[in-house]
Amino acid sequence: MSAANVVHLGVKELRSLARDPIMIVLVVYVFTVAIYAFATAMPDTLHNAPIAIVDEDRSQLSAEIADAFYPPLFLTPRLTTFAEMDARMDAGVDTFALLIPPGFQRDVLAGRSPGLLLNVDATRMTQAFAGSGYIQEIVNGEIRAFVQRHRSAASSPVDLALRVRFNPQANKSWFSAVMELINNITMLSIVLTGAALIREREHGTVEHLLVMPVTPFEIMAGKVWAMALVVLVGSVLSLVFVVHGVLGVPIEGSVPLFVAGTALHLFATTSLGIFLGTVARSMPQFGLLLMLVLLPLQILSGSVTPRESMPGFIRFIMLAAPNTHFVLLAQAILYRGAGLEVVWPQFVSLAVIGTVLFSLSLARFRKTIGTMV
């Protein structure tokens, strides 16, 4: 192998990528807009939910219940009428509509159990189910305080000291931003390397490489280091300027250690991209194949749902996936400030998986080139 050939072939890949505006836009988008949008949109927790209140009681208790709903959980309630309640719900203006019937305060003070009507727009699933519980707690709390003439918390026989570590405010964007960055690193590294190989096949430049004094190993190595470098630089810039700078996510651990883990991960995923590029015969086939491979990798790696909630055989199978170990080391370094003495098993696993994937991809690449001769 000639190191100079590998360098020149990698530079050729970088120049080819620079002349592809669609890929350039994709790289910029996934490391900026995609991460920001995923971290800030569709929160899992209740946030600024629109609620309307039909107050047919017009009492002190009903007024206190209405005043108990305020941002950031709910928007300021809109007082409406019974006739408008269903129309606003049908139009999608309100997620919740609370009806307080006449004589509600009188029945509460008399010791009866009056009913309240809560309409919920369940098409907004995230806010609907979380908001129903919040509304029930708020209404019960206001009624209890009104009857007892004071607010008091129920005493517990156990004094629970709650300490929230690594994310004291339970801010969803802190978790979502880093996980989206990890998923985009995996996705983009596979896309760039596979697309680079298919683009050369479609343009007929692979045949030009075959008549040059270069080996399949040098061709593949050039593609791997070039595409890995693009993703690595983009991930570091995104981590520093988008995740930490714009979104304000604290970085607890060593950025160089995270970069080293990312480089090992890219060694594995770019090799996987080459393998998929040799299997697919066109860009549409590569896109379909990518969905079959990428979605299970991301969903079952632990970046979307905890691995502990998955069946045992799924957790065992996913140990062969590189992004499973990458998620573990990224969370440990960026969230908890872990050092090499903690994440070295993930580093070793990524090195082994990367070597196996590179060897399989190289064998497949040689076979594919052999059919072109």
Q: What is the pLDDT along the chain (373 residues), one digit of tens a residue?
A: 588 888 888 898 899 889 889 899 999 999 999 999 988 876 556 778 899 999 999 999 999 999 999 888 899 999 999 889 988 988 889 999 999 999 999 999 988 888 899 999 988 777 888 888 899 999 998 998 888 876 655 566 787 888 888 887 777 788 889 899 999 999 999 999 998 888 887 777 766 666 677 788 888 899 999 999 999 999 999 999 999 999 888 888 899 999 999 999 999 999 999 999 888 888 888 989 998 999 888 888 888 888 888 888 999 999 999 999 999 999 999 988 899 999 999 999 999 999 999 999 999 888 877 665 4
Model pLDDT, residue 304: 81
Which three-class secondary structure state does DSSP give residue 303?
coil
Domain with CATH 3.40.1710.10 in the chain: 51-148
One-letter identity of residue 358? F
Model pLDDT, residue 61: 92
Model pLDDT, residue 188: 94
Model pLDDT, residue 66: 92
How many other C-beta atoms can be found within 10 angstroms of the C-beta atom of residue 197? 26
Contact 277, 189 (CB under 8 A): no
Q: Show the tokens assigned to 208.
A: 């030009």
Which three-class secondary structure state does DSSP give residue 44?
coil
What pTM does this model have?
Answer: 0.77
DSSP H helices in 149-171: none
Model pLDDT, residue 150: 65
Model pLDDT, residue 156: 67
CA distances in angstroms from 338 to 145, 174, 258, 366, listed in the order given: 47, 17, 10, 40
Model pLDDT, residue 357: 94
CATH second-level architecture of 51-148? Answer: 3-Layer(aba) Sandwich (3.40)
